[in-house]
Amino acid sequence: MRSRIGLAVALAAAVALLAGTVPSSPENALQAGTRITIEQAWPDAERADLRDLTVEPVHFLDATTAVGTVTTGDRVKLLIEKDGISRELRDLPASGDPRFEGMTASGKQLVWAESVNGKPVEIWTVGTDGAKPRLLTADTGNTLFYGNQHDLVLADGRVHWTAGEGDATTQVRSVALTGGAVTVREEKGQWAMSAWPWLTDDTGGQAGKVRMRNLTTGDLVEVPFSGAEWGMCEPVWCRVSVMTGEGTARIDLMHPDGSQRRRVAGTETQAAVNDVAVLDRFEVLSIPGPNSDITGTAALLVHDLETGRDVPLAVAADLAATKDGMLWWSTGDQEIAVWHTLDLRTI
């Protein structure tokens, strides 16, 4: 999920987690308590600072391989770029408002949803080893994408996504990675894809309860929240924003059965991305400053559930995104933007 950090989806939580005081600025926040540097926390993690990236990234395959778009004249091109060398995947008219959504990868195969000129959404794939892109299907239905890492899910040799209209029934659609006919399974209610094989009715945080259904076993899990709580869930962890009349008092994480609940932040901190506990371990947080509404930037840090530590990444980051275990963010401005990557899979 990619989002502007200063306007992140989750509500508040706090930075005084370790220091016990509310910071006056993101700079102070990242120096508070016993936070350590990224080099100290994860010395073997693969990461990069990309100052000469020519594409607007929509995904990173690894710390130095970006997939993104570039507009040239009246065309929008989708490229894979590494070390200044790019390979063109798609070339579409800019006037058709082309969009590339749900991009995800498994092994050497990259998959995405593509739309242009108001045509039905298509599912495309390409091998990252130099093969040409292939259309898997245009039989996608009324796709339901929510901007999280599970809009397209690769599992059991197939691409899975949800589609439908209204909240009475959701279609769970899939197509083989080799192409062919689309299978359609209907589930009562409004659902979104989650980590395979789960669906969730939680697409943006909600009060009351969050439901999850296992597509393999049919099991239904209901996670209740109190009237003062706002929840988002994935199969392993739920993010719970505890609310007061003035906003969010803190952010907790817990398992869907309510166990191992722990506070990960207090007031003034936000979730920087939609995705809850990336790789079931890393909660990505941001700390807005007094001018964040104007600049769109905020401090960025990662809370490591395994160690309980907060690891600062940037004092003033702009965009942040996660997918397939990759985390990336930008600093600077549009003229001199620097993209930073951290492969959480290598920690």
Give, in order, the Cα–Cα distances in Å from 332 to each of 37, 100, 314, 321, 336: 20, 25, 11, 16, 6
Domain with 230 in it: 2-346
**CA–CA separation, 283 vs 227, rounded Å?**
24
- Using H for helix, E for strand and C for coil, what is the string for the chain? CEEEHHHCCCCEEECCCCCCCCCCCHHHHHHCCCCCCHHHHCCCCEEEEECCCCCEEEEEEECCEEEEEEEECCEEEEEEEECCEEEEEEEEEHHHCCEEEEEEEECCEEEEEEECCCCCCEEEEEECCCCCCEEEECCCCCECCCCCCCCCEEECCEEEEEECCCCCEEEEEEEECCCCCCEEEEEECCCEECCCCEEECCCCCECCEEEEEECCCCCEEEEECCCCEEEEECCCCEEEEEEECCEEEEEEEECCCCCCCEEEECCEEEECCCCCCECCCEEEEEEECCCHHHHCCEEEEEEECCCCEEEEEEEEECEEEEECCEEEEEECCCCCCEEEEEEHHHC
* CATH number of the domain within which 261 lies: 2.130.10
If one counts the domains in the chain, the total is 1
**Per-residue model confidence (pLDDT) at position 205:** 64
Query: Peptide bond before 197: cis, by omega within 30 degrees of 0?
Result: yes
Confirm if 32 and 18 have CB atoms less than 8 A apart.
yes
Using the structure block, give the residue that is written with the tokens 């589609």: 163
**Per-residue model confidence (pLDDT) at position 32:** 44
pLDDT means per 10 residues in the chain (347 residues)? Answer: 38 27 40 71 97 96 98 96 96 96 94 95 92 96 94 97 92 97 96 96 76 96 91 95 84 96 90 95 92 82 96 94 97 86 98
**Per-residue model confidence (pLDDT) at position 9:** 34
How many other C-beta atoms can be found within 10 angstroms of the C-beta atom of residue 141?
A: 16
**CA–CA separation, 181 vs 183, rounded Å?**
6
Tokens of 37: 């540097």
Give the residues across from 48 on adjacent strands: 341
Tokens of 52: 């000469």
Q: Which candidate, 96, 131, 134, places its Cα nearest to that of 112?
A: 134
